[in-house]
């Protein structure tokens, strides 16, 4: 019945757009949060007159974000069956969420509190 209303390509495209929108939203949200936490830590370090060593951006982190992006964009390039598209978009969104959450936790375990 659903296929009579919408063909498979329409559902596939809706899934792709939704997944990519979620991916971009999560990326922007966590990027803003991380930059705000970085600024806050740097300000606290200046006030406390301590040196603040922030976690460096590792190449593994960059590669993981790029792989997640490829998983989010891949269904646009190759129209898979609907369930494969859903799995790929889900992996991309959840993987990015977990990665960015871990990166945020690196900053929130404040280096100023370790002294």
Show pLDDT as tens, one digit a residue, over the chain (115 residues).
555 556 767 777 888 888 889 999 999 998 899 888 888 877 877 776 766 666 677 788 888 888 888 888 887 777 677 788 888 888 889 888 998 888 888 877 755 544 4
Could you tell me if 71 and 88 are in contact, meaning their C-beta atoms sit under 8 angstroms apart?
yes
Residues 35-55 as b or e (16 or more Cβ within 10 Å = b): eebeeebeeebeeeeeeeeee
Length of the chain counted residue by residue: 115
pTM over cut 0.75? no
């Amino acid at each position: 019945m659903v296929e009579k209303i919408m063909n498979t390509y329409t559902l596939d495209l809706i899934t792709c757009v939704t997944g990519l929108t979620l991916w971009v939203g999560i990326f922007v949200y966590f990027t803003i949060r991380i930059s705000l936490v970085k600024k806050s830590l740097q300000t606290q370090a200046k006030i406390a007159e301590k040196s603040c060593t922030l976690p460096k951006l590792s190449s593994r982190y960059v590669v993981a974000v790029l792989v997640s992006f490829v998983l989010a964009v891949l269904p646009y390039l190759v129209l898979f069956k609907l369930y494969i598209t859903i799995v790929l978009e889900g992996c991309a969104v959840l993987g990015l969420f977990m990665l960015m959450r871990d990166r945020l936790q690196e900053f929130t375990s404040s280096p100023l509190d370790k002294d």
